[in-house]
Amino acid sequence: MRLIPAIDLKSGRCVRLYQGDFDAETQYPVDPLDLAQRYQSLGADWLHVVDLDGARDGIAGNGAIIRQLAQLKGLRLQVGGGLRDADAIQDMLDCGVFRVVLGSAAVTHPRDVAAWFGQFGAQRLTLAFDVRFDDHAVPRLATHGWRTQSQLALWDAVAQFSAHGLTHVLCTDVSRDGALNGPNLDLYTQAMQHFPNIQWQASGGIRDCADLQALADIGVHAAISGKALLESRIPVQELQAFLPSA
């Protein structure tokens, strides 16, 4: 399993939100480019970048920084946040981003997203499905920076794109995001059982090396970690097993 460090950008700063709440923001006094280079020096070969302004407003707000990050040699970027049309996707790919993350568009404009798999290729797209659980323990999608709750179940959302070559899915349990209370192992176990051919990326709650190992044992393809890495909660020597270039 590959560990992919996450950098969340808001108004040009590195931040973390608690459970997706824009009013529960923690700012970190570190330059995004310096942070990316730090992660690369530890052995990371991928970086997950979220434009939170774009996720909230639908208009990219941190494009200049993302373009800088995309020029780092030997580091592939996976970028999301407000990318809701083909022009926005093409712009990201043209500036050096390797894979674009689509979230809300997959719920609100599924036909367009299905067409983009043909246009851009399955290896250049990741679908981000952020979930909250209903009273019957069914994971249902949250969209638009997690402010809108959909009734679409995660399993139905994945199924409708399977025929179009869907390969990469990033799934976040919103209740775990930024909480450092452990990933939802049951969610990812179910995900692997429902769709074993999908390369699942787990996000939310990772706090230590034991969490990373538990996800690896399930068979998750990648783990996205933001807060735990930002706050140096996991010793570097324990991270190295999950960082390909360490």
Kindly list the catalytic residues. 8, 130
Asked whether 177 and 17 are in contact (CB, 8 A), the reply is yes
CA dihedral 243, 220, 176, 153 (to 10 degrees): 150
E strand residue ranges, 96-211? 99-102, 125-133, 139-143, 148-153, 168-173, 199-203
Q: Which helix (H) or strand (E) holds 92?
A: helix 86-94
Q: Which amino acid makes up residue 185?
A: L
Q: Which two tokens stand for residue 177?
A: 């995001």
What 8-state DSSP symbol labels residue 208? S
Indicate the SS3 state at residue 109: coil
Q: Which two tokens stand for residue 215?
A: 């996800």
Indicate the SS3 state at residue 76: strand
Question: Residue 33: exposed, middle, or buried by beta-carbon count in 10 A (0-12, 13-18, 19+)?
Answer: middle
